[in-house]
Amino acid sequence: MKFDKKHRPQTLNDVICADADVKQTLNEYANNQRDKHLLLYGPKGTGKSVSAQLVLKERLGVIWQAGLGEPWNAKAYQAKYDGFEFALQQWDLQHSMGSGMGCSVFDELDQFTLPMQHKLRAFIDQYEIGTIIATTNNLHLIDGPLKDRFRPVFIDYPSITQWVPRVVSVLAAEGIPVTTVQAAGLLRGFEGSGRKLDDWMEDYVFRLQRMMAQVTTPPAPAHQCAHTINGTGGK
């Protein structure tokens, strides 16, 4: 399994947010306390997509199962459908399973063409039986009236201090226990996204594993060494 998939957050509690108010808002959506459509925006790699998917998963609760709420990429969705009847079918299925409110996730909402954004606005104006959670790296490309239908929430990069618990947790899962102080030291100079952090941790784990393998590799038998030194170890 790929490193980032192996250590992907499983619940909203696992998600690191730079702003406590943002984390509170996400939890309120996850607990079905808010129903206005939600738009997570910000730079790449801040956890927008995984947060949106976990909010949906936790909203559905015990009825959650694969296929009941898979996220859609806006560009790929538009390549297959010219309207939002399929999203309505998803909501109907969720309702039939016991959900009080339907929910769908659309990643990269700005990848919808302007006419498709207009269709989405008309769709959510017509149907009030579900909530759309969307993400974008380019808020300025979202049509103004459509954006007004959403609650925009800015997702920023966590600080190094905020990343520390994730580093401790991931490295522990890899059999490399570190303290918070050691994790903070390892992160010195790190800048960037959660994806870059996963790459950094994977590099660190592999580097440490290589070092351990070299330390634990047994020496060659004495007679083999003698043959090699004498030039008789091979042709």
Q: What percent of the chain has pLDDT over 90?
A: 68
User: Same domain, yes or no, for 78 and 185?
Assistant: no
Minimum mean pLDDT among 15-19, 100-104, 137-141, 219-223: which range?
A: 219-223
Residue 17 lies in a domain: yes
pLDDT of residue 186: 86
User: Same domain, yes or no, for 90 and 139?
Assistant: yes
Tens digits of residue pLDDT in 159-211: 989 999 999 999 999 999 999 999 998 888 888 788 888 888 998 888 888 88
State which of 154, 178, 206 marks the end of a domain.
154
pLDDT of residue 121: 98
Residue 231 lies in a domain: no
Query: How many structural domains compose the chain?
Result: 2
Tens digits of residue pLDDT in 165-176: 999 999 999 999
Q: What are phi and psi of 135, to 5 degrees?
A: -130, 155
pLDDT band, residue 217 (cuts 50/70/90): low
As a whole number, mean pLDDT of residues 96-116 equals 96
Tens digits of residue pLDDT in 109-147: 999 999 999 999 999 999 999 999 999 999 999 999 999
pLDDT band, residue 20 (cuts 50/70/90): very high
pLDDT of residue 233: 45
User: Same domain, yes or no, for 67 and 168?
Assistant: no
Residue 111 lies in domain: 3-154
Q: What percent of the chain has pLDDT over 70?
A: 91
Residue 47 has pLDDT above 70, yes or no: yes
Average pLDDT, the chain: 89
Tens digits of residue pLDDT in 22-38: 999 999 999 999 999 99
Residue 87 has pLDDT above 60, yes or no: yes
Could you tell me the CATH number of the domain that includes residue 141?
A: 3.40.50.300
pLDDT of residue 156: 95
User: Same domain, yes or no, for 139 and 198?
Assistant: no
Residue 230 has pLDDT above 70, yes or no: no
Residue 107 lies in a domain: yes
User: Same domain, yes or no, for 80 and 10?
Assistant: yes
DSSP string, 136-202: ES-GGGS-HHHHHTEEEEE--PPPHHHHHHHHHHHHHHTT----HHHHHHHTTT--S-HHHHHHHHH
Alpha-helical (H) ranges within the chain are: 3-6, 20-30, 48-60, 74-80, 85-97, 114-126, 144-148, 160-173, 180-186, 194-216, 222-229
User: Same domain, yes or no, for 22 and 104?
Assistant: yes
